Amino acid sequence: MAGERGGNLHPMPRHGLFVSSSGEAKVAHWIRFERQGQTAFGTLEGETITVHDGDMFEGPRPTAETVPLADVKVLTPCVPSKMICLWNNFHALAERLNVPEPPEPLYFLKSPSAFLAHGETIRRPKAYSGNVVYEGELGIVIGRRCSNVGEDEAGDYIFGYTCINDVTAADIIPKDPTFAQWARAKSYDTFGVFGPVIATGLDPSGLSVRTVLDGKERQNYPVGDMIFQPHRLVSLLSRDMTLLPGDVVACGTSIGVGAMRGASNAIEVSIEGIGTLRNDFVQQVPFRYAEGDPEPMRVCVVGAGAIGGLMATRLAGAGHPVTVIDQGAHLAAIRDNGLKLIWHDGIEHTARVKAVESAAEAGPQDLVILAVKAHFLDQVVREIDAMLEPATMIMTVQNGLPWWYFQKHGGRHDGEKLKSLDPSGILSRNIDPDRVIGCVVYPAAHVAAPGVIHHAEGDRFPIGELDGRETERAKRVHDVLVSAGLKSRVLADIRSEIWLKAWGNLCFNPISALTHATLVEICQFAETRALAADMMREAQNVAEKLGIKFRHTIEKRIEGAEGVGAHKTSMLQDVELGRSLETEALVGSILELAKLTETPAPSIQAVYACVKLLNKVMVAEGGGVRLSKAA
């Protein structure tokens, strides 16, 4: 463990704790442990524990006995009656989230059954498939019964400080729109990680919290940036409830929180002067609702282009009977040679699928995936009944907002029709909303040649019922996608996820179509980056009036697009090939909602006008636009 702040620190390789070589004794490090079936406590110095008698918080007495750290099992350093956890307690995070700093502490309680010691394994809840995130934090440990104390005397009631990993099932918090489920999301077994010691005689104000995931630093922020510093915090909390010896206050986290996605993730929270809290987070990857492989599902992919072809190839490769509906040279190549998918790592997947021109030839299906561009849907659904049985599901994978957006919505606009997406009403008439499952497509791919799909990056296909229920059929579709080597989650709010994707499509697609720039070029050119941000800000204003909550900031969404690299958007690919553009699905529908919610959107309106004219000229001329080097 560390000596007083500023001492020389070196790691103990076997346990990942920190020790001091300074020899100074102002800071003590209290540790609880188990040895030979007995629980004990003491002070840790180097690799040696000096065993104590009595009560850690009231007159502990050193004994003559010492124990090597290597010979004990480390426990949580105390046994709290409660852990009080702060939200929005750092200036930098409040600024990043664009939320006001609170006038008083905002907090929730974490269940004692969640507590976990250093070195123990954090586990994913069996019934939860969403993101599990880490949050490195400073913890305050109370040493005396504390009620209604002033800020100037609060320090007398603080025993010391510890490291905390406030593990969170992030998707649970907003799952019910009527009630934010903080306690549930934070209190799953193993989610209350703290330790390995309590450092006493330490002033934490000049320290920093550092979080490392699988060897990469994810957080490094100063404790001094706290809105409510420890003494102020303890004083205010003691006015609300009695704090007992051993209670822990998690001071909240700052920028850098993220998900743990691997099958096994090494996560460390380090605070100089206290030590390093190290645990592994273990989960079944990929997560499945049912044990074993799912039963084969009859799947028809309507439109075997970039995304449809990718899905068809992976599903067929997993043993599901797949039919594709397409036309022309692409269909002929699939019939002759199969459907070839070249993954980003160069591995080729070739699938023999049933390739047809019509729904009648495809026949009845369990799942119909509509993978054509949004403006071709009205042609496709005219004969869709030929593929439908009573339980057949229809999954939409179009870019932009879907025509069914307000179907089974439940809000004030429930049942409202989007004229920009379904001008004739044929989609609403021919597709029962009870059949529909929404899907958001994150992979990037393109058709390299007839019958050949080239994958660029990404493999996520989150899905959700229109009314937010977690149904058995949605779970089955999830497991089918996972069986094909794709990532998926059943979401309680598929519309928020659609908006998150549409947020980027809204700006990056039309800007790329007009400029012929790739994603990274748009994001690294100051003027287009600013234009994209303006369009996203306008769209966010629209979405928030419809009850949508964005889990990312505009800057983070732009950074994500920049990270994709030199990828041509689907709209730019269409411009170069002379195909009609998804203008209404990607941009026009957002403007329709802007009018519905009476929200100004001048940047979106200007870009929409330009790209709509481009589409008109392309259609009139019967050709595309492609840049070529001047002679």
User: Where in the sequence numbering do the catalytic residues fall?
Assistant: 501
* Termini Cα distance of the chain: 69
Q: Say which residue the tokens 């903080």 belong to.
A: 182
**Residue pointed to by tokens 């992919």:** 301
Number of Cβ within a 10 Å radius of residue 66: 12
Helix (H) or strand (E) holding 380: helix 377-380
Query: What span, in angstroms and rounded, lies between the C-alpha atoms of 111 and 82?
Result: 7
DSSP label at residue 101 = P
* Residue whose entry in the numeric block shows the structure tokens 């040895």: 35
Cβ neighbours, 10 Å, residue 560: 15
Q: Which two tokens stand for residue 115?
A: 């507590």
Phi and psi angles of residue 26, each rounded to the nearest 5 degrees, phi first: -65, -35
CB-based contact 331:264 (threshold 8 Å): no
Cβ contacts of 503 within 8 Å, gap of 6 or more: 536, 539, 540, 543, 550, 557
Backbone angles phi, psi at 336, to 5 degrees: -80, -45
β-pairing, 322-325 vs 136-142, is: unpaired
Q: What is the DSSP letter of 90?
A: B
DSSP 529-580: HHHHHHHHHHHHHHHHHTT---SS-HHHHHHHHHHH-SPPPHHHHHHHHTPP
Measured distance CA(284)–CA(342) in Å, rounded? 27
Q: And the tokens for 264?
A: 């096994």
Q: What is the dihedral of CA 114, 119, 124, 125, to 10 degrees?
A: -30
| Pair of tokens at residue 266 | 């090494």
Bridge partners for 301 per DSSP: 324, 369
Q: Characterize the bridge pairing of strands 18-20 and 354-356.
A: unpaired
Distance CA 442, CA 515 (A): 23
Chain-centre distance of CA 607, in angstroms? 30
Q: Which residues contact 83 (CB under 8 A, 6 or more apart)?
A: 109, 110, 112, 114, 115, 192, 194, 247, 248, 249, 250
Token pair listed for 247 = 């209670």
Q: For 452, phi and psi rounded to 5 degrees?
A: -125, 125
Integer Cα distance of 16 and 217 in angstroms: 16
